Structure 1
Amino acid sequence: MTTSLILRDATEADLPAILAIYNHAVAETTAIWNEILVDLDNRKAWYDLRQARGFPILVAEVDGRIAGYASYGDWRPFDGFRQSVEHSVYVEKDHYGRGLGKALMSALIERARAGNIHVMVAAIEAGNTGSIALHKSLGFRLVGTHHEVGKKFGRWLDLTMMELKLD
């Protein structure tokens, strides 16, 4: 079976697939520290806000199906932080370990450089060694860990902070 990968900007038509990937991460993982599943209106509001702010949402399309997405947005909502962003990258569970996260992140980093972003921030659940390794492979450096700053599935979670200087 031939696998084709296309990285492109998301459209509103991609929102149901993005919703499914997001809700899986909420329900089954500690990648997102929310506990309540969201609906399509929630993802549409998120999409509209990203579009209004000029922030990219990229999707990975594999054999015509959305298999992952990545985006970035404001890191902190103050003028002095306008050239720093925090990103998110999520891959559909059936496509874990196939390089989609790295492909999406590489494209997102290039988009950030072109958009005059100075620093990209990653906030990763400390036990997610795969994501931490991915970020290290892309040049992110570890800047610290916040201990027990969140709770999900009945346990305290630590948050590893990483950053990539883009210029």
Structure 2
Amino acid sequence: MTCPAVRSIGVTPDLPTILDIYNEAVLNTTASYDYEPTNLEARLGWFDAKMEQGLPVFVAQDQGTVVGWGSYGPFRAWPGYLYTVEHSVYVAADQRGKGIGRRLLPPLIEHARAKGLHAMIAGIDADNAASLRLHEGLGFVKVAHFRQVGWKFDRWLDLVFLELLLDDGDRTPARP
């Protein structure tokens, strides 16, 4: 495998593969606490909302094939959280463990910094050791461990929040 290229997408041809990667994770992992796969129409709505809000969607490609994707969005809906985002990174099942997540996350971080955001949150299933290591290796710090807040695959799941401060906190953010 060559080193996957990471690029921002602004058009929709990658959406079927992004959808396939997400749906596989829904059905087979605890990377998402969703139960049911989604459809292309819903993913198109998701993508359009990202573009309207100026939020990024990055894909990793290997020899022209999308092998992973990442994005971020609002952490919470209230105005006081305006400068904090939560991100998602998903990698195709047959590509996990090959460093694709490590290629996808830095562009998300840099995009958030460039937009003047202050903090990025990762919500990760507590048993996902690989994702926890990836985030810690990129400077994220564990800030919360919620016990048994999710239910999937006939068991309770713990959720860990990690945080990366994107700036030194010495500036007053510009009002939107």
For the aligned pair, the TM-score class normalised by the smaller chain equals over 0.9
In 2, Cα distance between the equivalents of 1:82 and 1:49?
A: 17
Q: Which amino acid in structure 2 is aligned with residue 151 of structure 1? A: W
Query: Are 1:64 and 2:60 counterparts?
Result: no
Aligned to 2:158: 158
In 1, Cα distance between the equivalents of 2:128 and 2:97?
A: 13
Please report the RMSD computed on the Cα atoms of aligned residues, expressed in angstroms: 0.9
CA shift, 1:88, in A, is 0.1
Query: Are 1:37 and 2:37 counterparts?
Result: yes
Q: Which amino acid in structure 2 is aligned with residue 5 of structure 1? A: P
Normalised by the length of structure 2, the TM-score is 0.92
Q: Which amino acid in structure 2 is aligned with residue 118 of structure 1? A: H
CA shift, 1:24, in A, is 0.3
**SS of equivalent residue, structure 2 residue 33:** coil
Matches within 5 A, 1:1-167: 3-10=2-9, 11-167=11-167
> Which structure 2 residue ranges, 5 or more long, are not aligned?
168-176
CA shift, 1:4, in A, is 4.9
In 1, Cα distance between the equivalents of 2:90 and 2:3?
A: 19
Number of residues of Structure 1 aligned to a counterpart in Structure 2: 166
CA shift, 1:33, in A, is 0.4
Aligned-residue identity in percent: 45
> Which structure 1 residue ranges, 5 or more long, are not aligned?
none
**SS of equivalent residue, structure 1 residue 16:** helix
In 1, Cα distance between the equivalents of 2:47 and 2:4?
A: 22
Q: Which amino acid in structure 2 is aligned with residue 28 of structure 1? A: N
**SS of equivalent residue, structure 1 residue 13:** coil
CA shift, 1:5, in A, is 2.3
**SS of equivalent residue, structure 1 residue 12:** coil
Check whether the contact 1:102–1:134 (CA below 8 A) recurs between aligned residues: yes
